[in-house]
Structure 1
Amino acid sequence: MIVALSQSSRLESIWQLLMVSIIFVVVLGMAYYTTKLISKLQRKQSFNDNIEVIETFKITTNKYIQIVRTGNKYLVIAVAKDTITMLSELDKEQLNFKSEAVEQKESFSEIFSKIKELKLKK
């Protein structure tokens, strides 16, 4: 009788562990897809053709100087913790735009093989 009770208890424990693991994976998956959905919604809301941050320069931990394009105007603003101050307005000719480099998108396997080669050379 004790052996039968022990066997039943083990099966019940394994069953509980399995169910908790399945519930954990389901909750984890739901959290992942919810985060992706919220990210997509925020990107759609923040997409705007009239306002764009061109460049940001960090002065201290809470202070930045930014060049912002609003419509056809370029503004230099100072951004602090609680305030934003317009410093000046620039013409497009006064700005130095970097030529847009073609992005090379490497696959993970290519990057991994390069690292592997570097390790083997050492």
Structure 2
Amino acid sequence: MLLHAKNSSLDSVLELIGVLFIFLFVVIITWLTTKWMANYQKAHINTKNLNLVETIRVGNNKTVSILKAGKKYYVISNGKETISLIGELTEEDLEDLSFKNPGNQSTKESFTSMLSKFKSIAPVKDKDEQN
């Protein structure tokens, strides 16, 4: 009876290890397949004459995109079931619309300098006033 209980627990541990191994195998295969599909689509999406320059989401299932067709740029809106042409842009318009990333500014401050400025501005309460 005792021998049967030990075999049973050993079988349970081996079964658990086997299930974990199969689970990890499936997760790794899924990850590799997803990575391969992304690279495959990336290689086949960029064509010579048609490129998606930029897309921004403006609502649920609604986006505004800049599409380059040949040497012309088009602004299109994409809805759930519709695609509409908003207008046409030139390369000069795109340069005027380019926004600078605020995180790349050379004047960005460190957290400690901002904290010290805040401490100098914020009123300090005495311990006697808090009690």
Shorter-normalised TM range: 0.5 to 0.7
Shift of 1:66: 3.1
* Aligned twin of 1:72: 71
Structure with greater Cα Rg? 2
1:50 to 1:6, Cα distance in 2 relative to 1, 3 A? same
Shift of 1:57: 5.1
Aligned residue identity for 1:80: G
* Aligned twin of 1:6: 5
Aligned residue identity for 1:6: A
Q: TM-score, normalised by structure 1?
A: 0.64
- 1:15 equivalent to 2:14? Answer yes
1:6 to 1:37, Cα distance in 2 relative to 1, 3 A? same
Deviations 1:65-116 (A, max 9, x none): 4332211012232332222222332332333153888xx8xxxxxxxxx99x
Aligned residue identity for 1:32: W
Partner Cα separation in structure 1 for residue 12 and residue 61 of structure 2? 53
Q: TM-score, normalised by structure 2?
A: 0.61
Partner Cα separation in structure 2 for residue 22 and residue 45 of structure 1? 35
Q: Percent identity?
A: 29
Shift of 1:28: 1.6
Shift of 1:58: 4.7
Superposition CA RMSD, Å: 3.3
* Aligned twin of 2:34: 35
1:91-102 equivalences under 5 Å are: 91-95=90-94, 96=96, 98=98
1:3 to 1:60, Cα distance in 2 relative to 1, 3 A? closer
Partner Cα separation in structure 1 for residue 57 and residue 6 of structure 2? 65
